[in-house]
Amino acid sequence: MSLARLLPAALCVLMAWPLAAQARSDAAPGTAPGSNPLFRDKFTADPAPLVVGDTLYLYVGHDQAQRDEMFNMREWLVYSTTDMKTWTDHGPIMKVADFTWAKADAWASQAIEKDGKFWFYAAVEHDDTHPGKAIAVAVSDSPTGPFVDAKGAALVTNQMTPKGTHSWEDIDPTVFTDDDGTTWIAWGNRQAYIARLKPNMVEIDGPITEITPPHFEEGPWLHKRGDLYYLTYASLDRATHRDEKISYATAPSIQGPWTYRGELTGSGKYSFTIHAGIAEFKGDWYLFLHNAALTIGDQNGSIGRRAVTVEHLQYNADGTMKPVVQTEAGVSVPPPR
Ligand code: FUB
């Protein structure tokens, strides 16, 4: 979340709201397995897929904002699927309170498998000893947890990136293990950073390098396909400051140079934020996002009540990604061939 944070963001949302509210006479969302949103009994955000064998696990933040609250996120949830159509709810894997040094905000996360363990990286609000957002790391023997704080302290604090202009700069970790076995972590809001992780997975190894691509707002996601590295992220047009879209850059190496490739999606329905998570699963590629189109009882979707979605992701012959249209059918229909 970032929205030039908070106040400007709230204004943007409030200005956009009358339009969004008028549009809410759409038909009920599709019910075919694989249609969007994926989960309809809870508000979920910031999807992060992890493939383990024949199962895709999806880590999400739990949006618990009431009425006009902006964000109220206290825990992370995980779901799994073997067919992209039916999902198992494994419940919460961790709460912010499990990081004793953090005081709030179970924001975006990603889990990765390494050396037989599952490492979970997440943005939280640090306590007053290191004011601002921070990145936590937890570990488990199972993708469904239980996860425990792996370090007893933040992996990244706001004080470690002094160039940044705001306190929520160090959010939204994405982790990626390169072919040589080195794991990298990228993160950021307005500024994007990348650093190596030590083999112990709980310490930064060497310098933190700024890699901010055009229109970067937050939510970076690293992946590789063939010989090409991808940095996909939530982007914002600062002229209009309307809702985020997904943009991306590519590089021949994890260390760049990164070439901007433009927008991958439009905005998420009714949502200021959007957050990409990408995975290849059983031969097909998927782009997970969130929007704010879900209503549960008397609670409409909002900036702090989002719903995770998924679409097919396809590539051109040159490795660029084909623009993705967000749909209600989602992956209930086959990918275009
Ligand atoms: O969900 C809280 C924040 O909103 C995330 O950290 C951002 O990526 C945005 O989705």
Q: Which residues contact 93 (CB under 8 A, 6 or more apart)?
A: 59, 76, 77, 78, 120, 140, 144, 145, 146, 147
Residue 14 has pLDDT above 60, yes or no: no
171 within ligand 1 shell (Cβ under 6 A): yes
Q: Pick from 226, 236, 190: which is nearest to 211 by CA?
A: 190
3-state class (DSSP) for residue 321: strand
Cα of 9 from ligand 1 centre, angstroms: 12
**Candidate from 6, 43, 44, 46 with most ligand 1 atoms within 8 A of CB, to mutate:** 46
pLDDT band at 164 (very low <50, low <70, confident <90, very high): confident
The residue whose C-alpha atom lies closest to atom 7 belonging to ligand 1 is 1
**Distance, CA of 84 to CA of 332 (rounded, Å):** 9
Cα of 78 from ligand 1 centre, angstroms: 17
List C-alpha distances in Å: 97 to 100, 112, 135, 144.
6, 22, 14, 18
**Distance, CA of 149 to CA of 283 (rounded, Å):** 34
Residue with tokens 């908070």: 6
Task: Give the type of residue at 112.
Answer: I
170 within ligand 1 shell (Cβ under 6 A): no
**Distance, CA of 309 to CA of 295 (rounded, Å):** 14
List C-alpha distances in Å: 213 to 111, 189, 257.
23, 11, 11
46 within ligand 1 shell (Cβ under 6 A): yes
**Distance, CA of 306 to CA of 102 (rounded, Å):** 23
pLDDT for the residue 20: 35
For residues 17 and 216, the model is more confident at: 216
Residue 213 has pLDDT above 50, yes or no: yes
Share of the chain above pLDDT 90, in %: 87
Cα of 200 from ligand 1 centre, angstroms: 27
Domains and CATH numbers, the chain: 8-332 (2.115.10.20)
pLDDT for the residue 28: 55
Contact status, residue 286 vs residue 278, Cβ threshold 8 Å: yes
Residue 99 has pLDDT above 80, yes or no: yes
123 within ligand 1 shell (Cβ under 6 A): yes
For residues 219 and 165, the model is more confident at: 219
**Candidate from 109, 218, 302 with most ligand 1 atoms within 8 A of CB, to mutate:** 218
pLDDT digits (tens, 9 = 90+) for 296-334: 999 999 999 999 999 999 999 999 999 999 999 999 999
**Candidate from 172, 232, 306 with most ligand 1 atoms within 8 A of CB, to mutate:** 172
pLDDT for the residue 317: 98
219 within ligand 1 shell (Cβ under 6 A): yes
| H or E element that contains 235 | strand 228-235
pLDDT for the residue 31: 87
107 within ligand 1 shell (Cβ under 6 A): yes
CA angle 241–246–249, rounded 5-degree value: 115
Residue 76 has pLDDT above 70, yes or no: yes
Q: Pick from 150, 144, 44: which is nearest to 100 by CA?
A: 150
pLDDT for the residue 21: 30
State the average pLDDT for the chain.
92
pLDDT for the residue 223: 98
Residue 18 has pLDDT above 70, yes or no: no
pLDDT digits (tens, 9 = 90+) for 117-162: 999 999 999 999 999 999 999 999 999 999 999 999 999 999 999 8
Residue 84 has pLDDT above 50, yes or no: yes
pLDDT band at 29 (very low <50, low <70, confident <90, very high): low
Tokens of 105: 């905000």
**Distance, CA of 113 to CA of 116 (rounded, Å):** 7
Cα of 2 from ligand 1 centre, angstroms: 7
CA angle 232–233–235, rounded 5-degree value: 135
Q: How many other C-beta atoms can be found within 10 angstroms of the C-beta atom of residue 23? A: 11
pLDDT digits (tens, 9 = 90+) for 228-248: 999 999 999 877 768 999 999
Q: Which residues contact 153 (CB under 8 A, 6 or more apart)?
A: 101
**Distance, CA of 269 to CA of 292 (rounded, Å):** 6
Query: In terms of C-beta density within 10 A (0-12 exposed, 13-18 middle, 19 or more buried), how is residue 206 classed?
Result: exposed
pTM of the model: 0.92
| H or E element that contains 115 | none
